[in-house]
Structure 1
Amino acid sequence: MNFSNILKKPGLSGSTLKILAIIIMAIDHFGAVVISQGILGNPAIRADHALWQNWYTFYRITRNIGRSAFPIFCFLLVEGFLHTSNLKRYTLRLFLFALISEIPFNLAISGTLLSPHYQNVFFTLLIGLITIAAADRFRDKPPVQGLIFAAGMVLAYFLETDYDYKGVLLIVILYAFRYNRLQQVIWGAISVFWEIFAVFAFPFIWLYNGKRGIRLKSFFYWFYPLHLLAFWGIAQLLLKYIH
């Protein structure tokens, strides 16, 4: 390992940011699925108020930590758009895994196979990607870009995707300030004030060094549905065996 090169290029690579976001997301979903459903929802735990309160505190900690994952994924989406050599393949991959992830997402979050009123985060990222890709074709026509941005947010809102229009707005902001990291961080942080713990994502985004790092192209795509299924299974076991 050449330590001199590391010293010349400080900061976080894209793969480091992605791994960090995956870990944070897993902590969030552990709270949302395993703790919320498997522990807090268990009658034996609910019967003991003090124990339930302790677990609820832990639940809140995991959810607060998890708020910073989504802005990192949005930032990486914009970086992916700027550097992809095949936008069509990138878009189709997001769409495919949005479909693959929907049943695991529904089971983990809603406890049902079908939940038409809440779609997984891949749909939000997909809409965000299509929105900025369409707007990028009209860089010399700001009014048209504005209409495209609005259409993307409206679509996410009516499809009821995870983070809905607010998620697409964040992607739009990160795209709009794509050539100015400071502006990305400032306006991105302002746009997530409604979810205050999400602002902790932006110091990590600020540290991005522009390097791709190790290849993790497929890992996140498969990790998302598989970890949701695993957490749902753990929650069901806890419901069954905690007495």
Structure 2
Amino acid sequence: MNSFALKLLALITMIIDHVGAIFYPQYPVLRIIGRLAFPIYAYLLAEGYAHTKNLKSYGLRLLAFALISEIPFDYAFFGKLELTHQNIFFTLFLGLLAIWFIDTQNPKNMAVAFIGVILAIMASEYLHTDYGTLGILYIISFHMLKNTQGMEKLLLMTFLLAVLNFLLSGGLQNYSVLAAVFISLHDGTPGPRNKVLQYAFYAAYPVHLLVLFLLKGTGV
């Protein structure tokens, strides 16, 4: 399974999750399916970090879409501008900073790396970003397991997701361990890619939230 296929799977399961959260909360199966999305996105972020040729551009792109997505996110889930909860792009941006701190400071200065990670986690909690601490730790875990393959990759990722879910979340989030199966099938190849596809995947987040908000407004 290449990166394009993983992105498509993450996108589809995310949309299913959001449809369930906004329109059909009485059907938890939609939210269970949606638990696949974020671990895959977290993994793809770690992969993107490992392969990007311009980390600054990558980070700024995440931050830009975090700002672009905030109004559609707020209106889709809260029906108004709501500054007490921030969208997933903020979590991804902070996760990128966390693994950058780990790579640039460790082992030269583990204390600085640790402080950088703690600051990223604190920022996620202060801003109330989607997944918060759990999301940052997902990203760090996938980054630390970047050199694992096959069954080892599947077992370690399943174990880490299960432990993090147990300690920090529980409930439906426990189903996110299923994402490890699809992640372990990643063959390391990018699949189809160009600038149009790249930005289409980014734009799909705010666009689908805007569509869901408009549908909610019509009473569908």
Q: TM-score, normalised by structure 2?
A: 0.89
Distance across 1 between alignment mates of 2:92 and 2:42:
7
Q: Are the equivalent residues in 1 in contact too, given 2:2–2:190 (CA < 8 A)?
A: yes
**Which runs of 5 or more residues in structure 2 are unaligned?**
none
Partner of 2:178: 200
1:139 to 106, 109, 117: 106
Distance across 1 between alignment mates of 2:161 and 2:64:
28
Q: Partner of 1:35: helix, strand, or coil?
A: coil
Counting only pairs closer than 5 Å after superposition, residues 28-177 of structure 1 correspond to structure 2 as 28-36=17-25, 56=26, 58=27, 60-112=28-80, 114-140=81-107, 141-177=109-145
By how many angstroms is 1:74 displaced? Answer: 0.1
- State yes or no: 1:232 paired with 2:200: no
By how many angstroms is 1:184 displaced? Answer: 3.8
Q: Partner of 1:115: helix, strand, or coil?
A: coil
1:179 to 147, 162, 186: 147
Q: Partner of 2:42: helix, strand, or coil?
A: helix
Distance across 1 between alignment mates of 2:41 and 2:143:
13
- State yes or no: 1:24 paired with 2:13: yes
Worse overlay, 19-28 or 168-177: 168-177
Distance across 1 between alignment mates of 2:136 and 2:214:
31
Q: Are the equivalent residues in 2 in contact too, given 1:21–1:68 (CA < 8 A)?
A: yes
Opposite residue 23 of structure 2, the aligned amino acid is V
Distance across 2 between alignment mates of 1:147 and 1:174:
19
Q: Partner of 1:238: helix, strand, or coil?
A: coil
- Give the paired residue count: 206
Counting only pairs closer than 5 Å after superposition, residues 203-214 of structure 1 correspond to structure 2 as 203-214=181-192
Opposite residue 206 of structure 1, the aligned amino acid is S
Distance across 1 between alignment mates of 2:89 and 2:14:
13
Moved segments of 4+, more than 4 Å:
none
Q: Given the superposition, is the C-alpha separation of residues 80 and 189 from structure 1 closer, same or farther in structure 2, using an over 3 Å criterion?
A: farther
Q: TM-score, normalised by structure 1?
A: 0.81
Q: Are the equivalent residues in 2 in contact too, given 1:185–1:206 (CA < 8 A)?
A: no
**Which runs of 5 or more residues in structure 1 are unaligned?**
1-11, 37-55
Partner of 2:164: 191
Q: Partner of 2:116: helix, strand, or coil?
A: helix
Distance across 1 between alignment mates of 2:119 and 2:204:
30
Distance across 1 between alignment mates of 2:115 and 2:158:
24
Superposed CA RMSD in Å reads 1.4
Q: Are the equivalent residues in 1 in contact too, given 2:49–2:55 (CA < 8 A)?
A: yes
Query: Cα deviation per residue 1:140-199 (whole Å; 9 max; x = unaligned)?
Result: 133332222222111101110010111011111111222224234432343234221111
Distance across 2 between alignment mates of 1:218 and 1:175:
23
By how many angstroms is 1:92 displaced? Answer: 0.7
Query: Cα deviation per residue 1:216-243 (whole Å; 9 max; x = unaligned)?
Result: 311221100010111111112126xxxx
Distance across 1 between alignment mates of 2:162 and 2:199:
28
Opposite residue 6 of structure 2, the aligned amino acid is L
